[in-house]
């Protein structure tokens, strides 16, 4: 059982847990994830490690409420326990001295990219970060990302804060400005990662994306997280989650992410109905 040491509500629908998991904290690297199960009847879901503290033996996860498991997870608080917290899984993000690296984060992607940007900066890279959110009230960890970047550009889709627009606009301008960018790392909603890759493609700049297909076991056994990269089938949980964004078959990814939409909707309705019944 894994105790929740701290809970923070970052913005509406997005929460942070610091969880006591010393064995995961000992081995975690930027870009890796854990598979959690709330209780014995719960489903397994993958969540990226947003931070870890080897001395405290804790791992930080940040999650967004999108369906049954993440809504249920959000009902837990400090002092509660999670039954399974397996990891670290997946390949760590490749870190070396590339030169200038642009880290692009959309929405919850900021929590996932901070450890990567920190490691890149520590390795001697110049880190330029672009952080985007739909609106100011959904923006978080601006200071955290700023502190591990040499330059930070912030956008909101609706213009309620900082620059109005989407992350691909400053990304394109940066590439056109003549800044010698060695690599782009984009993490966020799949559609955002696809368009970041489309933006960098004409410039021939290697672009790494962190894919988020549906996963079950997270160990390469079930095939559920199958994606196609450069025409080759890859399992995201063991071959990724980082892949070359120019090689990803995005249409296949989008289609596979939607496979269980009806079941997910029914499951959420059933859970909401049961919780309303229990609270009456």
Ligand X SMILES: Cc1cc2nc3c(=O)[nH]c(=O)nc-3n(C[C@H](O)[C@H](O)[C@H](O)COP(=O)(O)OP(=O)(O)OC[C@H]3O[C@@H](n4cnc5c(N)ncnc54)[C@H](O)[C@@H]3O)c2cc1C
Q: Which residues bind ligand FES (CB under 6 A)?
A: 215-218, 220-225, 235, 237
Among ligand FES, ligand X, none, partner that 224 touches (CB below 5 to 8 angstroms by kind):
ligand FES
Minimum CB separation from ligand FES for residue 234, in Å? Answer: 10
Among ligand FES, ligand X, none, partner that 107 touches (CB below 5 to 8 angstroms by kind):
none
Binding-site string for ligand X from residue 106 to residue 145, where x marks contact by CB under 6 A and - marks none: --x---x---------------------------------
Query: Of residues 2-41, which lie at the interface with ligand X (CB under 6 A)?
Result: 33
**Cβ atoms of 26 and 54 closer than 8 Å:** yes
C-beta of 147 vs 270, nearer to ligand X: 270
**If DSSP codes are grouped into helix, strand and coil, which group holds residue 164?**
strand
Question: Which residues are bridge partners to 86 per DSSP?
Answer: 35
Q: Is 70 in the site for ligand X (CB under 6 A)?
A: yes
**Tokens, residue 196:** 């970041």
Distance, in Å, from the CA atom of 207 to the CA atom of 196, rounded to the nearest integer, reads 8
Among ligand FES, ligand X, none, partner that 66 touches (CB below 5 to 8 angstroms by kind):
ligand X
Q: Is 257 in the site for ligand X (CB under 6 A)?
A: yes
Q: Which stretch binds ligand X (CB under 6 A): 138-146, 171-179, 212-220, 270-278?
A: 212-220
Position among 47, 82, 145, 227 found at the interface with ligand X (CB under 6 A): 47
**If DSSP codes are grouped into helix, strand and coil, which group holds residue 169?**
helix
> Is the previous residue joined to 241 through a cis bond, with omega within 30 degrees of 0?
yes
CA angle 272/277/279 to nearest 5° reads 95
- Helix, strand, coil abundance in the chain, percent, nearest 5: 30, 35, 35
The contacts of residue 214 (CB under 8 Å, 6+ apart) are: 224, 225, 256, 257, 259, 260
Task: Quote the strand ranges of 27-125, DSSP E.
Answer: 33-37, 45-53, 58-64, 81-82, 84-89, 100-106
- Give the count of beta carbons closer than 10 Å to the beta carbon of residue 168: 21
C-beta of 6 vs 261, nearer to ligand X: 261
Q: Which stretch binds ligand X (CB under 6 A): 77-85, 138-146, 170-178, 258-266?
A: 258-266
Interface residues with ligand X (CB under 6 A) are: 33, 45-48, 62-64, 66-70, 108, 112, 212-215, 241, 257-258, 261, 264, 267-268
């Amino acid at each position: 059982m894994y105790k929740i040491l701290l809970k923070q509500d970052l913005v509406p629908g997005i929460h942070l847990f610091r969880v006591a998991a010393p064995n995961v904290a000992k081995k975690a690297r930027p870009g890796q994830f854990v598979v959690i199960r709330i209780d014995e009847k719960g489903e397994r879901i993958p969540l990226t490690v947003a931070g870890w503290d080897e001395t405290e033996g804790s791992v930080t996860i940040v999650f967004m409420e999108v369906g049954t498991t993440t809504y249920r997870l959000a009902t837990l608080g400090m002092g509660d326990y999670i039954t399974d917290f397996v990891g670290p899984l997946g390949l760590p993000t490749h870190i070396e001295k590339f030169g200038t690296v642009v880290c692009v984060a959309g929405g919850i992607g900021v929590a996932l990219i901070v450890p990567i940007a920190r490691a890149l900066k520590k390795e001697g890279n110049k880190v330029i970060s672009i952080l985007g959110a739909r609106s100011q009230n959904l923006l978080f960890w601006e200071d955290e990302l700023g502190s591990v970047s040499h330059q930070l550009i912030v956008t909101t889709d609706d213009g309620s804060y900082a620059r109005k627009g989407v992350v691909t606009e400053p990304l394109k301008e940066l590439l056109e400005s003549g800044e010698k960018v060695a690599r782009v790392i984009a993490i966020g909603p799949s559609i955002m990662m696809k368009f970041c890759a489309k933006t960098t493609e004409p410039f021939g700049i290697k672009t790494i994306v962190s894919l988020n297909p549906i996963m079950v076991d997270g160990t390469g056994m079930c095939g559920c997280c199958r994606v196609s990269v450069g025409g080759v089938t890859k399992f995201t949980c063991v071959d990724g989650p980082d892949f070359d964004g120019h090689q990803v078959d995005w249409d296949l990814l989008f289609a596979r992410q939607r496979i269980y939409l009806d079941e997910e909707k029914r499951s959420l309705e059933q859970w909401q109905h049961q919780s309303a019944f229990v609270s009456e």
